[in-house]
Structure 1
Amino acid sequence: MSLRHRTLIRRRRASAVALTAVGALLALAAPNLATAAPADPGGPAKITATPRAGADQTSLTPARRTALIKTAQSKAAGTAERIGLGGKEKLVVKDVIKDADGTTHTRYERTYSGLPVLGGDLVVHDKSGRTTVTKANKADLAPATLSPKISAAGAAGKALDVSKKAEVKGSETERAPRLVVWAGSGKPVLAWETVVEGTQEDGTPSELQVVTDAATGKQLLAAEKVHTGSGTGQYAGEVPLGTTLSGSTYQLVDPDRAGQKTYDLNQGTSGTGTLFTDDNDVWGDGLPSNRQTAGVDVAFGAAATWDYYKEAHGRNGIRNDGVAAYSRAHYGNNYVNAFWQDSCFCMTYGDGSGNTHPLTALDVAAHEMSHGVTAATAGLVYSGESGGLNEATSDIFAAAVEFYEDLPADPADYLVGEKIDINGNGTPLRYMDKPSKDGASRDNWSSTLGGIDVHYSSGPANHFFYLLSEGSGAKTVNGVSYDSPTYDGQSVTGIGIQNAAAIWYRALTTYMTSTTNYAGARTATLSAAADLFGAYSATYLAVADSWAAINVGNRIALGVNLAPVADQISGVNQEVSLQLDAYTTNTGASLTYEATGLPEGLSISQSGLISGTPTTLGTSDVTIKVTDSTGATVSDTFSWQIAYVYANSTRVDIPDNGAAVESPVTIAGRDGNASATTSVYVNIVHTYRGDLTVDLVGPNGTVYSLLNRSGGSADNVDQTFTIDASAQPLNGTWKLRVQDRANIDVGYIARWTLTP
């Protein structure tokens, strides 16, 4: 797949695009969508810690990396069997990284019956004989069919329609659609992937990836792959440059960084233009009228980004393979953007308004080239929450590179694009301490975050990173004033940008996958923090605090923590297994569990597993107490009802806009009628619950409506309904009846239970 990454810029249009938003560098004024946050008093001094040496990633030479990849590929079949993949699945190695303690993390793509699996990527972690796996999609790869109902030509036509809605000019499919298995979300299905090429409205090249369900024609994904974001530069000032003497002429070819080259496109929009050259190795004068000036900023930005990843993270180039990217300055005419293209493995910069405001600042270069790092590692899909994390990753490392270089002409800050002044009023494009200051970005996570443009859904992750680096409240860093609020009104203590970036880098390269969302990013960064600084260390707890401060997950209290247990309903004489989730922040302490009020027939083990077979009807209050070996303790109380519960877990497929289907349970040997508070739990997997009507049909034929096309475009039904079924006899067959009443989306009844 050809991958490109577009700039930081986002232009507003009079009409909105009714599909996944196309990526961009410019963020102009927009309605303020941020949620007001309570004032925060600020936190204490930063937490200081040194990462654990064993978790450092080993800097691999290109030859060593190639050897590790070749070895992993030779063992791929055995690895697939070892981690429990199906017989039709194969693994294709994408990358291998190795920690100083010998732990290897091998990133794979998957195929199914020879078809590429989009969203099927996974990472296998091997440490001291123990293997764990991080998957982009945990669902089994078992598409219902491998025979498409939609033709390749039909899929191409639908993709072209999508590109027209996205206002891509000159749209054409460079190659025929390819058949794939789509596992980006939900149940894997057969699909067509089409890449439509053209030009976006601001002149940026476009590669629009469109994935279409091969059975229904439904659009599954529309993601833009062009992500837009000694000499004297306009922004960098006087800086050293790596150059090469060829005959009597110096070239902007960096011998210390694998021969990175910088070209002048001469206002063209294709090819490489001409290599920057000079007769005395003194480049630019800081003024845009000198064409070399932009070349200085560009070459320095590429070198600084290379050096940062090499020195801070042991990464040998964008792909970690020692291969240099090249850069192109002076793209187009009055082009107000910059972009990274993975297909050419190159960076491109426009000269801005009037060709006098080039987008060549250091944070722009680092932002765009970091899109290349993301593509080479987690490959975060550029839509929904993963798209916001993709954009935030580039902002995060742009800030990290600025702090690494700490240029006098461009002091390090947590502002994005402050030097290039795209807005024309001296304001940055984005603010990491309080993203809503740009008028469109969100400060905190919410359930609607995945539905907005990725440059604005990146806000909460940027906010998280600022809080983790510097902490909350008012402060001044390098002369810039910040005042970062928190969602929960509690203060956050920062750990410093170096450690925060180390955690994000390890999470990106080791634990994130193409479909990682905000909750997954929290899990990935906590895993990274545990590797680098120890589980439940002060640094680890700061990561959890920073996520809670943007409304993702909870803070971790010192001492023993016990995840709340919901009220339980279990069937009499039916086996029970409930694992409690508890841990302690006291290093090395062990846990003991106690429970009072358990229903008869149940008991709790010292691993926190409640199991057994309840024998008596009734409801009791259960209290769980967890104590660690230091004496710290925590308790939780919930109710546990033992009742007659009837269930059907047989899958029933729901036809698209077709006839109703039913799933039965039969009750026998009971007396009387059902309860006035009969409980019906329904679990339906479906990609558009607003298509569905869901009814309970009693033994005498009475129909009780549970769901009538409500819930809009949300996925799935996972809900308990209470109805008055007191007019129904208990004995007989009860049916869950489901009907899909609209085209395109499909699903199935996974499970339902009846407590009459």
Structure 2
Amino acid sequence: SVRDVLIDPDGSQHVRYDRTFAGLPVLGGDLVVHLAPSGAYRGADRATTAPLAVRTTTPAVGADAAAAQAGQALLAADGRTTTLQPGAAPQLVVDAGHGTPRLAWQTTAAGQDYLGNPVARTVLTDATTGRQIADWDGLETAAGDGASLYGGTVPLETTQSGGAYQLKDPTRGNTYTGDAANKTDLCIGSICIVRAPATLFTDADNHWGTGTTADRASAAVDAQYGTNTTWDYYKNVHGRTGIGGDGKGSYNRVHYGSNYNNAFWQDSCFCMTYGDGDGSVFGPLVALDVAGHEMSHGVTSRTAKLNYSGESGGLNEATSDIMGTLVEWYAANPADPGDYLIGEEIVKPGFGKPALRFMDQPSKDTKSADCWSSSVGGLDVHYSSGVANHFAYLLAEGSGAKVIGGVSYNSPTCNGAGVTGIGRDKLGKIWYRALTTYMTSTTTYAGARTATLKAATDLYGAGSAEYTAVAGAWSAVAVN
């Protein structure tokens, strides 16, 4: 049966067909016939050239068994699925897409994850043996794009649902972005009784946002792009799939509160939340390095679980600054190029400085520490983090004045010794291994020195140039 006809300007036709056998749909039996303007046959492209006939169209395995197999496949694919819902009845098909054509059941199991979002899995079951042939996400993914506030036009993987698209990425653990509708959470201590909504963004044409704050989807584009890029960085560079390392996605809430000048990660919801800023001090806090920063808090919470106070708290914040910076460099986005400035995209003239923090010389913010001292643990964790940020910059780039990516830096050392950098890639690998393998909840700066030296030994060998560089960079910030 004809599914589609494409006619070229010269009158050539390309007629797409689906095929059936004994009235059953054939998966992988489709073909395209090409005709000249005169109607003459030019050729065909076929999904398969194998004979489609099967010996029988009477299944030996029942529909109930196929449905049960599909339900189990959905639960296995989405570990946070809490409820299964009635799905479409299993359909008999001829499967010609996975080897020799055979009679099969095609079943789509549906349900809701623990956040109430729809999930689905389509399963092919051999109708003769009962074995599972294949399975895939039952919600269709679609390639879209978005006009962001800070990163230009960026690619997005979305989910097609009916005639619309959802800002949910099934290729990255169903990570999604929702609108908090300018509401806030109602919390008592650390327990949130009422959480601001995260109403999933949808779009008709899969082209999201306008690049301006006038369109609420623009900030959502930045948040989703930041989530995607952070996911890719951890997976492709460190082999970690998802924030929890379990392949499961987190989610974003944008437009939180009114003129809210903050962004934060919460373990309790496994989510990031972004305010719109007040427009004078901060703009919407959805910049790429901020997203990488917030999601890296989640990585820390699933690994070293560094306490959020004292020197451990400074290391917690520094981990997010370091990894968020590396995410920005990894993205290689010319609209928001990598640098060693934290939050440079979100600050407004009212903030009074060109960035939130400066890794080459943290004290440029007038509050952060460049060098360790016994009083560092008494600082706010956003300022005691300066010691580790300074170490990270020195380890990657070295000391002294230089221009990197068009930005001028000048990183003095606390002991007067010069430091030669070993590059961002090695910094990231050493810090990630130290965080995930050796740091604990109470790690101090002295402990971080030990942890990173162990990591350098594991990765590059005891007495290696990298080991020596790690030791020298810590000494350069007075951690000995």
Alignment partner of 1:498 out of 422, 425, 428: 425
Asked if the contact 2:157/2:168 (under 8 Å) is kept, the reply is: yes
Any residues of structure 2 matched to 1:527-542 within 5 Å, and which?
Answer: 527-542=454-469
Whether the 8 Å contact between 1:288 and 1:357 is mirrored in structure 2 is no
Q: Distance in 1 between matches of 2:279 and 2:198?
A: 20
Aligned length: 328
Per the alignment, residue 255 of structure 2 pairs with 330
Counterparts of residues 657-736 of structure 1 (less than 5 Å): none
Percent identity, please. 62
- How far off is 1:426 after superposition? 5.4
**Which of 1 and 2 has greater Rg?**
1
Find out whether 1:345 has 2:260 as its counterpart.
Answer: no
The residue identity in structure 2 corresponding to 1:372 is G
Q: Which residue matches 2:224?
A: 299
1:232 matched to which residue of 2?
A: 147
RMSD in angstroms over aligned alpha carbons?
1.7
TM-score using structure 2 length = 0.67
Alpha-carbon spacing, 1:471–1:325, altered in 2? closer, same or farther (3 Å): same
Secondary structure of the 1:474 match is strand
CA shift, 1:357, in A, is 1.7
CA distance in 2, matches of 1:240, 1:305: 14
The residue that corresponds to 1:433 in the other structure is 360
The equivalent residue for 1:395 is: 321
- 1:681-735 deviation line (CA, Å, top 9, x unaligned): xxxxxxxxxxxxxxxxxxxxxxxxxxxxxxxxxxxxxxxxxxxxxxxxxxxxxxx
5 Å-filtered alignment, 1:204-603, equals 230-269=145-184, 270-354=195-279, 357-421=283-347, 423-425=350-352, 427-553=354-480
Provide the TM-score with structure 1 as the length reference: 0.43
Distance across 2 between alignment mates of 1:238 and 1:471: 34
Tell me how far apart the structure 1 counterparts of residues 76 and 390 of structure 2 sit (CA, whole Å). 39
Displacement of 1:63 in angstroms is 8.2
Q: Distance in 2 between matches of 1:424 and 1:393?
A: 24
Q: For each residue in 1:259-316, what CA deviation from the matched residue of structure 2 results, as whole angstroms up to 9, or x when unmatched?
A: 1111011111233332101100001111011111001000000000111000010001
Q: Please list every run of 5 or more consecutive structure 2 residues that lacks an aligned counterpart in the other structure.
A: 1-74, 80-144, 185-194
Q: In the aligned structure 2, how far is the partner of 1:426 from the partner of 1:291?
A: 27
C-alpha displacement of 1:504: 0.2
- Distance between the aligned counterparts of 1:384 and 1:354, measured in 2? 32
Take 2:284 and 2:218, find their aligned partners in 1: how far apart are those partners? 10
For residues 198-218 of structure 1, the C-alpha deviation after alignment (integer angstroms, 9 at most, x for no partner) is xxxxxxxxxxxxxxxxxxxxx
Indicate if the aligned counterparts of 1:361 and 1:417 stay in contact, CA closer than 8 A. yes
Q: Is the 8 A contact 2:420 2:469 kept in 1?
A: yes
Deviation at 1:354, TM superposition (A): 4.5
Distance 1:63 1:490, change over 3 A: farther
**In the aligned structure 1, how far is the partner of 2:173 from the partner of 2:396?**
32
Aligned structure 1 segments of 4 or more residues deviating by more than 2 angstroms: 270-273, 422-426
Q: 2:307 is matched by which residue type in structure 1?
A: V
Distance 1:527 1:407 in 2: 33
Does the aligned pair in 1 maintain the 2:353–2:365 contact within 8 Å? no
SS of the residue corresponding to residue 262 of structure 1 reads strand
1:250 positional shift: 0.7
Tell me, what secondary structure is at the counterpart of 1:340? strand
Give the CA deviation at 1:523: 0.2
Please state whether the residue corresponding to 2:157 is helix, strand or coil: coil
The CA distance in 2 between the partners of 1:381 and 1:520, in whole Å, is 14
Question: Take 2:351 and 2:379, find their aligned partners in 1: how far apart are those partners?
Answer: 25
Q: Which amino acid aligns with 1:413?
A: D
User: SS state of the match for residue 431, structure 2?
Assistant: helix
Closer, same or farther: CA 257–432 of 1 in aligned 2, 3 Å: same
2:339 partner letter: D
Partner AA of 1:285 in structure 2: T
Whether the 8 Å contact between 2:276 and 2:283 is mirrored in structure 1 is yes
Quote the Cα distance in structure 1 between the aligned partners of 2:289 and 2:359.
Answer: 13
User: What are the Cα deviations for residues 632-664 of structure 1, in whole angstroms up to 9, with x where unaligned?
Assistant: xxxxxxxxxxxxxxxxxxxxxxxxxxxxxxxxx
SS at match of 1:241: strand
Which amino acid in structure 2 is aligned with residue 251 of structure 1?
A: Q
CA distance in 1 between counterparts of 2:76 and 2:406 reads 45
SS of equivalent to 1:505: helix
Looking at structure 2, the residues matched to 276 and 425 of structure 1 have their Cα atoms a distance apart, in angstroms, of: 34
For 1:273 and 1:464, locate their aligned partners in 2 and report how far apart those are by CA, in whole Å. Answer: 38
Shift of 1:425: 3.7
1:265–1:331 CA contact under 8 A, matched in 2:
yes
- Which of the two has greater helix per residue? 2
CA distance in 1, matches of 2:426, 2:372: 23
Aligned equivalents of 1:296 and 1:63: distance in 2? 30
Q: 1:461 to 1:63 in 2, by over 3 A?
A: farther
Alpha-carbon distance in structure 2 between the residues aligned to 1:254 and 1:294: 16
Contact 2:181-2:197 at 8 Å conserved across structures? no
